Chains A and B, each alone.
Chain A
Amino acid sequence: MKRILILIALLVPACLWAQVDYSELSMPELSKKIEAEVRAIKASEGKGDKQSMSHSLGNAADLYLSVARKLSESEETDQIVKAKQTSLTRSIDYARKAIATSEEVGELEQMKTSYRTLIAAQKLSGDIKGSLQSSREMLALKKTVFSNKKVAELEKRQIEYQHTKREDSIRQQKQAAEEHLKEQARVLALKQKQLDSTSRTLSATEQEKTSVSMALKKTQSDLTMEKLNALEKERKLTLAEEEQALQATNMQLQNSKLELQQSELALQRSKMELQQNELQIKDRKLSNQRLYIYIGVVGILVLASFLFFIGRERKKAVQQKLRAERSERFKQEFIANISHEIRTPMNAIIGMTGLLIQKNPSPEQESYLKAISKSADILLHVINDVLDLSKIEAGKLELEKIDFSLTDTLKQVKDTLSYRAEDKGLQLITTVDDKLSDVIVGDPYRLNQVLINLGGNALKFTEKGGVHIDVTKEKEEGEYVWVKYAIVDTGIGIPADKVSKLFESFSQVKSSDTRKYGGTGLGLSISKHLVELQGGTISVESVVGKGTTFSFVIRYPVGSTERLQQRLASEQNADGTILNGLRILIADDNEYNRLVVNETLHLMADVETDEVVNGQEAVDLLKANNYDLILMDVQMPVMNGIDATKYIRGEMKAPKKDIPIIALTASVLRADLDLCFESGMTAYVPKPFKPWQLVNTIAEVTGRERQPGVPSTPKQAQKKQAEKPKPQPAKAEHVKEEPAKQDATGVGAEATAAASTFDWEKVTNMDYLTTFCEGDQKRMQKYIKVYLNALPAFHKNIAAAIENKDFVELALHVHSFKPKWMMMGMKKTNDLGVQVDHMAKSQNEKAFEDVKIILEDIDKSQKELETMV
Chain B
Amino acid sequence: MNKKMVKKIFIVDDDDMMAMALEDHLTRNTLHEIHVFTTGEECIKNLRMQPDVIILDYNLNSVQKEAANGMAILDAIKKLNRDIPVVLFSSQDAYSVALQSINKGATQYVIKDEKAFDNIVAICNS
A residues bordering B, Cβ < 8 Å? 677, 682-683, 768, 772, 779, 782-783, 786-787, 790, 812-813, 815-816, 818-820, 822-823
> Interface size on B (CB < 8 Å)?
21
**Interface presence of B15 (CB below 8 A):** yes
In the complex, A812→B59 CA distance in Å? 8
Closest to B61 in A: A812
| Residues in A whose Cβ lies below 8 Å from that of B112 | 818-819, 822
Residue of A nearest to B117 (CB): A772
Most chain A Cβ neighbours within 10 Å, of B18, B21, B24: B21
Q: Write the chain B residue with the least CB distance to A818.
A: B91
Within B16-51, the residues touching A (CB, 8 Å) are 16-18, 20-21, 24-25
Taking a contact as CB atoms under 8 Å apart, the answer to whether A816 and B59 are in contact is yes
Does A819 contact B15, Cβ atoms closer than 8 Å?
A: yes
Are the C-beta atoms of A815 and B15 separated by less than 8 Å? no
Extra inter-chain contacts (13) besides given A815-B92, A819-B15, CB under 8 Å: A779-B24, A783-B17, A786-B16, A787-B17, A790-B17, A812-B59, A815-B59, A816-B15, A818-B91, A818-B112, A819-B17, A819-B18, A820-B17
Nearest neighbor of A789 in chain B, beta-carbon distance: B16
B21 to chain A: closest CB distance in Å?
A: 6
Q: Assuming A819-B112, A823-B17, is B95 touching A682 (CB within 8 A)?
A: yes
B62 and A813 within 8 A (CB): yes
B99 at interface (Cβ–Cβ under 8 A)?
yes
Interface residues of B in 57-102 (CB under 8 A from A): 59, 61-62, 91-92, 95, 98-99
Q: Give bound CA distance, A41 to B114, whole Å.
A: 125
A223, chain B: closest CB distance, angstroms = 116
Task: Tell me the bound Cα distance from A822 to B90 in angstroms.
Answer: 13
A451 to B61, CA, bound (A): 47
Q: What residue of chain A has the Cβ atom nearest to residue B14's Cβ?
A: A816
Q: Which of A682, A782, A822 has the most CB of B within 10 A?
A: A822
- Between A and B, 14 residue pairs with Cβ closer than 8 Å are A772-B21, A772-B25, A786-B16, A786-B17, A812-B59, A816-B14, A816-B15, A816-B59, A819-B21, A820-B17, A822-B112, A822-B113, A822-B114, A823-B21
Which of B24, B61, B91 lies in contact with A819, CB distance below 8 A? B91
Look across to chain A and name the residue whose beta carbon is closest to the beta carbon of B113.
A822
Name which residue of chain A comes closest to B112, CB basis: A819
A683 to B61, CA, bound (A): 28
Q: Which B residue sits closest to A683, measured CB to CB?
A: B95
In whole angstroms, what is the CA distance A677 to B109 when docked?
11
Q: Are B62 and A790 interface neighbours, CB within 8 A?
A: no
Contacts of A790 in B (CB 8 A): 16-17
A812 to B112, CA, bound (A): 15
Q: Nearest chain-B residue to A771 (Cβ)?
A: B114
Contact of B59 with A783 in the complex, beta carbons under 8 Å? no
Contacts of B91 in A (CB 8 A): 815-816, 818-819
Task: State A821–B59 Cα separation when bound (angstroms).
Answer: 17
Which chain B positions have C-beta within 8 A of A818?
A: 91, 112
Contact of B21 among A783, A813, A815 (CB under 8 A): A783
> Please, which residues of chain B bring their CB within 8 A of the CB of A787?
17
Docked pose: A779 CA to B15 CA in angstroms: 18
| A683 contacts across to B, CB distance below 8 A | 95
